[in-house]
Chain A
Amino acid sequence: MNMPTVEAMSGIESRPIIDAMSFIDHRAKAKNLINIDHISMIYKNSAKKEVVALKDVSLDIKEGEFVSLLGPSGCGKTTLLRIIADLLDPSAGSVRIAGQSPRENRLRQKYGMVFQSPVLFEWRTVRKNVCLPLEIMNVPREERERRVDSQLDMVGLSAFANSYPFQLSGGMQQRVGIARALAIKPDLLLMDEPFSALDEFTREKLNEDLLDIWHKTHKTVVFVTHNISEAVFLSDRVFVLSPHPGRLSSVIDIDLPRPRTQDTRESPEFFALVSKIRKSFEGVYRLS
């Protein structure tokens, strides 16, 4: 498997300093990593009635892009993420990730997943939790140790390497989950409402930390959330989904400069984007 990595192909890694403008310019030229083509998902609920979770959703996600799938519960945002992750099969339509099916992509261990709960193994220390995927992939011991150290350093948990999950706060546990997802050096990071169970202060802190990590690693990130300001703060683009049936209602470009900080949240442009998205939801609810 000596294929060139996404970073190498796009040349992002060769730029030493993150310059906001060149970064956005660069993205405009980037290729699509994920093509979602007319995806529908129909469940049968417990009463054997058909529920349309997703109806005819099409969208593209570029290499190195940070996108959010935003919507209220029942809009199918998590379903869409799970289809990309090959945890669910769609009823109709197709998904291609770098030209491959989600299954091929999963079997080649090309993505890291962060769940809503940290999903840590309580019998493993922080270090061993981050190490888990590397053990499964038979990464040699020395390489494992090296990668775990650098991941723990990146999420700021080196001092807690030998702690057990129950000794950590919720925010720290979720950081371990992120470190674990990144340990396998995936091209793609899938995040399913990772901060929704945390308090507002911790969430904002982790949002900033996540952007730091993203700037350092240049992964493509698909981030599911129901929090409008979180989606605006993090993303290059926000895909707004509406419920019953779940469908794509609008795509909002977030052209806020990067790197984004606490000041970004105070800017009029930020408020304008948040309110624009909120208004688009009002439209949806009036219709339904």
Chain B
Amino acid sequence: MKHSKALVILAWVSGVLLLWELGAYLLTAVIRDPMAGTKLPYPQSVVVTLGGNWRTLGQAALVTLSKATIGFALGAVVGYLLAVLMSVSRIAEQIAFPYLIVSQMIPVLGLAPIIFNLVRDMDASRIVIAAYITFFPVAANSLSGFKSVETDKRQLMYSYAASQRATYAKLMIPSSLPYFFAGLKIAAPMSVTASILVDMLGSKSGIGVKLLYSLYGGQVDIFWASVLTSAAMGIASYLIVLLAERVCVPWRTVALVDTGVRHE
């Protein structure tokens, strides 16, 4: 099991690198495109740039990532509480859900300048936008988690004359956690992307600024190194959520991996 997983990852990474190398070679050596360096530089030259500029790139990434994380956490809390509210009260669900859907139809690109105009602060805008992106997938997934609790389990709690508070604490909330994490996994890379987008709308710091300036300034290697950094940020955010899920919802992951072991 463990072996084949490592093999898959190895095949993926080397496959991507190989294709990239091949593409860059085609552009420079075969097609002899004079703009080859801007279109697709060699991966090794990007890695060298990454190594040479890791401090500034890392600082820029940290600015964006820290705000994205705060917004993400905020959005997750708001989204989950909203799901709890909607699952407790049908009327609350009927009132809130259309707003949730509509909120998803406003493009972030349009919303970000509006938010910036309102709060007049880059960091606050980043946080608000990341939260805004996060709360919907979290709320929608968690709500579906609450709704998919088996009837028998609810009736069991009812048969014990359990209070609503006890029913939520002992049944509804633990049952909804896998769904909550499904929402988080969707939202994490999205909130990072949204924060990068906000960087580009006139910020002075952040990885989005690096992307924009290097693109316009013709610093191709810096641009590609920034792209790699951004991608790494998205992947890292996803992996962190995945790790948190393993810790918080062990029964789910264990059951999936280890169904072969049965006693009796």
Contact = CB atoms under 8 A, between A and B. Distances in A.
Interface in B204-257: 249, 251-252, 254-255
A166 B264 CA distance: 13
Interface in B156-170: 156-162, 166, 170
Nearest to A122: B251
B159 A113 contact: yes
Interface residues of A, number: 30
A166 B251 contact: yes
A168 B262 contact: yes
Nearest to B153: A119
A95 B114 CA distance: 64
A85 B155 CA distance: 10
B159 A166 contact: no
A136 B159 CA distance: 11
Looking at B160, B171, B249, B262, the one whose CB has the most chain A CB atoms below 10 A away is B160
Contacts of A85: 159
A171 B156 CA distance: 19
Given A115-B152, A121-B174, A122-B255, A169 B159 contact: no
Contact of A133 (B153, B160, B177, B258): B160
Q: Is the interface of B mostly helix, strand, loop or mixed?
A: helix
Contacts of A132: 160, 170
B244 to A, nearest CB: 16
Contacts of A160: 263
Interface in A115-137: 115, 117, 119, 121-123, 132-133, 135-137
A74 to B, nearest CB: 19
A229 interface: no
A111 interface: yes
A250 interface: no
A250 B183 CA distance: 55
Nearest to A85: B159
Contacts of A166: 251, 254-255, 258-259
Majority secondary structure, A binding face = loop
A187 to B, nearest CB: 14
Q: How large is the interface on B (under 10, 10 to 19, 20 to 34, 35 or more residues)?
A: 20 to 34
A135 B167 CA distance: 11
A107 B161 CA distance: 5
Interface string A166-208: 1111011000000000001000000000000000000000000
B231 to A, nearest CB: 34
A105 to B, nearest CB: 10
A166 B257 CA distance: 11
B95 interface: no
A123 B263 contact: no
Interface string A140-183: 00000000000000000000100110111101100000000000
A117 B150 CA distance: 11
B35 interface: no
B263 A163 contact: yes
Contacts of A117: 152
Contacts of B155: 87, 113, 115
B261 interface: yes
A132 B166 CA distance: 10
A122 B252 CA distance: 8
Contacts of A111: 159
A164 B251 contact: yes
A87 B177 CA distance: 27
A164 B254 contact: yes
Contacts of B262: 167-169
Contacts of A168: 262-264
Nearest to B162: A136
B159 A123 contact: no
14 contacts: A106-B159, A106-B161, A111-B159, A115-B152, A119-B152, A121-B153, A122-B251, A132-B160, A136-B157, A164-B254, A166-B259, A167-B263, A172-B263, A172-B264
